[in-house]
Amino acid sequence: MTGFPTLLQKEVLRFWKVSFQTVAAPVLTTLLYLLVFAHALAAHVEAFPGVPYREFLIPGLAMMAMLQNAFANSSSSLIQSKITGNIVFILLPPLSPLDLFAAYLGASIVRALVVGLGVFAATAWIVPVPVSHPGWALAFALAGCGMLGALGIVAGIWAEKFDQLAAFQNFLVMPLTFLAGVFYSTQSLPPFWRAVSKLNPFFYAIDGFRYGFFGQSDVDPATSLAFATAAFAVLSWITLAMLRRGYKLRH
């Protein structure tokens, strides 16, 4: 009965003990993105009618940081446990695959939300951003962070060394987040690239999250939430199947 909350607490404390690196550093990186891109493009770009470019950037940058940190939390925890050998202390207790999944996923979402709140707190003195539909913003935050938290578990289970995990992040997670409409509206793209963008599940999380602030988006928010939730569900099913089999965890 205490296995799941104990593992969840352990995973939350794991990143919180080094919060300067796991929370403060991503917030600072996001601020640098904001300062550079807003300074370079604010006078030349209007992504949404009536929305200053600096305001447009903040929700997208916040969600990008949240997605990347949700992935990093679960994937780094698992690969470290596998390499150091202490994964055995996770597998020996009578924890079900669902317990393991929920604990790693929950900690990833907590870290992502803390980073997101940090970004908004740090940018509030630069550009206050209105929140038109907080319910939509929260729904997309949970769906997006859940999606990347589950993907991080998949990557952590699959990878056998840090190089493989770094390749997973650099060649899949980073490109998909940067090309998900963080810095631009997909309406400004040619039709072909606009269609390609809609194949990216990260796009729906970012576009829908931005709708929660401005009431404007490139895709209807209900459609975006359906796509983001479906991607989360598929990744959750894959993750649970890997955990049930003990894939690359039990030898």
Domain residues of the chain, as ranges? 3-245
What 3-state class would DSSP assign to 210?
A: helix
Token digits of residue 187: 């309406």
pLDDT value, residue 42:
63
Cα separation of 159 and 248, whole Å? 9
Phi, psi of 51 (to 5 degrees): -110, 115
pLDDT value, residue 202:
96
Cβ distance 116 to 22 under 8 Å?
no
pLDDT value, residue 20:
94
Cβ distance 52 to 129 under 8 Å?
no
pLDDT value, residue 226:
97
CA dihedral angle for residue 190, residue 193, residue 198, residue 201, rounded to 10 degrees? -140
One digit per residue, pLDDT tens: the chain, 251 residues? 578 999 999 999 999 999 999 999 999 999 999 988 877 766 666 678 888 888 899 999 999 999 999 999 999 999 999 999 889 888 888 899 999 999 999 999 999 999 999 999 999 888 889 899 999 999 999 999 999 999 999 999 999 999 999 999 999 999 999 889 898 888 888 999 899 999 999 999 999 999 999 999 999 999 999 999 999 999 999 999 999 998 988 75
Cα separation of 126 and 55, whole Å? 10
pLDDT value, residue 45:
67
Taking alpha carbons only, the member of 16, 248, 240 closest to residue 150 is: 240
